Amino acid sequence: MITNGDLDLGFEVIVMSKNPKISVVTPAHNEEEDIHKALDSVLSSGYSNLEFIISNDGSIDGTVEVVKSYMKKNKNIKLVDHPTGTSAAAARNRGAKKATGEILVFLDADTGISDGFLQSIAKNFEDKRIDSVGHMKENTFSNLLSRLVALLGRPSKEVREIKDGQIIKNYIGYNPFVISRKAFLDLKGFDEKIFYYEDEDLGKRFFSKGYKGVWNSKILFYSEQPADLKGVYRQCLWSGKGIASMKDKERQKNEIKYSAAKLAFMFGPFGLLFFNIYLGAFFILAAYALTYFYALRASKSVFYSFLMVPVMYLRNLFEFYGIMRYLIKK
């Protein structure tokens, strides 16, 4: 029996079948307004050999009631209810413990899947060499702010250059959100001591242990980006907390230095205004221009890049605050 801390994952070793059962696992903490996005997307997929596990992580809103309303109409939905909020890693592990599928798909509550997603990964897993299917994520938006945030979330160059059908043997920035239960068992699940970057940690352990993945460019996760400043703040706070709780202290130190350097670059010139208004104005414009070209490289949009710069300023400020807040707490 494999364990992760106090959590007994409870998996048995399995062999992939021709028509594999897929277990979609969604962690949910106060997702009353968004949980329908994952539920509707998966349930409309048409894949028959499916179970959908919602792992409630101490929600105090109407998340559980929404899930139960779906359960009345669909017997494939299971609710794993935990009364106290912990973390996404713990919620995923609790959901995976109840899973009976040969393939695990870890899907966030505000995320949908493209048409044919489940059918396509089932086909991919016919290749006995692989234990994961990699895919792109498309950031979706509902207003101007969420569109600007979505444009900033460009995948890494390494990920963009992966070819369809390519067998992947080394970690290059893709994390195994679609993974065989056998491999997940062997890796002992998500590390619950890691916050926010637990998926990256799982990806690195997956490849370091010799597992392989295949890239499928035809399938997507659709991830809704925050549509108000409160949502942007929460997203950045999670990132800051993740950096503050990193196990790799050398990387943590570098991430903190980088975050501080960005903050100084963006906001430092405003201090010069107290000494020389013209010099201060020059450096403020210079910082804005350089940040604009960074945004342009990410978005490829001349117009939207102008609006992205203030969002980048706010995000860096929120993230650095998150880092300092959780470092002080520790």
Domain limit, last residue, from 181, 199, 224:
224
What pLDDT does 17 receive?
64
CA distances from 24 to 43, 62, 98 (A): 10, 21, 11
pLDDT of residue 85: 83
- pLDDT digit string (tens) for the chain, length 330 residues: 333 444 445 444 445 667 899 999 999 999 999 999 999 999 999 999 999 999 999 999 999 999 999 999 999 999 999 988 889 999 999 999 999 999 999 999 999 999 999 999 999 999 999 999 999 999 999 999 999 999 988 777 788 889 999 999 999 888 899 999 999 999 999 999 999 999 999 999 999 999 999 999 999 999 999 999 999 999 999 999 999 989 889 999 999 999 999 999 999 999 999 999 999 999 999 999 999 999 998 888 999 999 999 999 999 999 999 999 999 986
Note down the domain range covering 289.
229-329
Domain boundary among 204, 224, 244: 224
Q: Give yes or no: residues 209 and 243 share one domain.
A: no
Task: State the CATH number of the domain containing residue 210.
Answer: 3.90.550.10
C-beta of residue 301 within 8 angstroms of C-beta of residue 151: yes
- Looking at residue 13, its pLDDT comes to 46
Helix axes 277-299, 144-152, angle to 10 degrees: 80
Based on the fold, state whether residues 148 and 161 are members of the same structural domain: yes
pTM: 0.88
Report how many domains make up the chain: 2
Please tell me the predicted confidence (pLDDT) of residue 174.
82
| Same-domain pairing of 217 and 247 | no
Query: Which residue, 173, 195, 224, sits at the end of a domain?
Result: 224
pLDDT of residue 297: 87
Please, what sign has the CA dihedral across residues 261, 267, 273, 274? negative
Report pLDDT for 9: 54
